[in-house]
Amino acid sequence: MRKSLSLAAVALASALALTACGTSSEEPSTDEGASDTTELTPVTVGVIPIVDVAPIYLGVEEGFFEEQGLDVTLELAQGGAAIVPAVVSGEYEFGFSNVTSLLLATYNDVPLKAVAAGVFSTGTDPDFGGVAVLDDSDIESPADLAGRTVAVNTLNNIGDSTIRYAVEQDGGDPSDIDFVEMGFPDMPAALAAGQVDAAWILEPHLTRALLPGARVVSWNYVETDPDLMIAAYFTSQDFASSNPDVVEGFVAALQASFELASSDPAVVADILDTYTDIDPEVKDAMTLPRFESEFSEDTVALLADLALQYGLVDEEIDYSALLP
């Protein structure tokens, strides 16, 4: 599993990242009469079309990044698997990914640096992600998931490791679960058709499953840790060391974005219409994550421990270089 990115690839990616750095904040403007727009540093951020990234869309719309001298372009990707190499190669300056994916990349010597928190569990019932079953299922608690088929979006990642932990805490056997990989949008229909016994689903697809009558048997994020940081924004180590002012401005703008998102759910609902296609009934009923800017090293340590405990890695992850 280890060393999936060769040293040569890392060196090439680092060189590309340094090249990218040279075209952004490292080049002073020579046009004294340039407009404010041309003086902004261009920054591309890889994001996923999910509720979690609503704050950064708000920040762009509200001008928080411009206030920090940044001209931010948001590029949609299917998942972190596409965002991580784009950031390391310098195609994107920043990206968004769940914490376990960042830990697994670090374990495989991908030179990443987390810069800010992304989203947190709500810490209570309901959360924005949970393990759902049909209403007439005999699965009543996390322990009952042992011996069953459970859909997750990615095998050997934050979904199955936190589910295993929740099952174990409830007295079940975490090794006796048959995880099946499936996209979140497909899970409500697969659950209704009986293709799986349970499905770990995030919003808005969780509400798409719950409205017809499914129910949640495990809030696996909350049961792992009520203060669990689910995802974070990151850059490459080369970009972070070469462009500290850009990173500082990016984080400051993110903090302002988080504050707005956490204080006004209505603006979050509105901004979702700009990059997602969520049914109005679902949008009104779904649960938003907790948007908070403070980075949680405790979460990083916990998810690193779970990765080792449940066999995602073969030895302890040295995540010191990943931390902001």
Residue pLDDT, tens place only, 150-162: 999 999 999 999 9
Q: How confident is the model at residue 38 (pLDDT cuts 50, 70, 90)?
A: low
Q: Kindly state the average pLDDT of the residues 226-255.
A: 97
pLDDT per residue as tens digits for the range 255-272: 999 999 999 999 999 999
pLDDT of residue 62: 97
Q: Report the amino acid identity of residue 47.
A: V
pLDDT of residue 14: 35
Tell me the average pLDDT of the chain. 89
Is residue 189 classed as helix, strand or coil in its secondary structure?
A: helix
- Predicted TM-score (pTM) of the model is 0.86
Is residue 101 predicted with pLDDT exceeding 70?
Answer: yes
Q: Which residues pair with 45 in a beta bridge?
A: 74, 94
d(Cα 167, Cα 273) in Å, to the nearest integer? 36
Residue indicated by tokens 């401005």: 249
Pairing of strands 129-133, 198-202: antiparallel
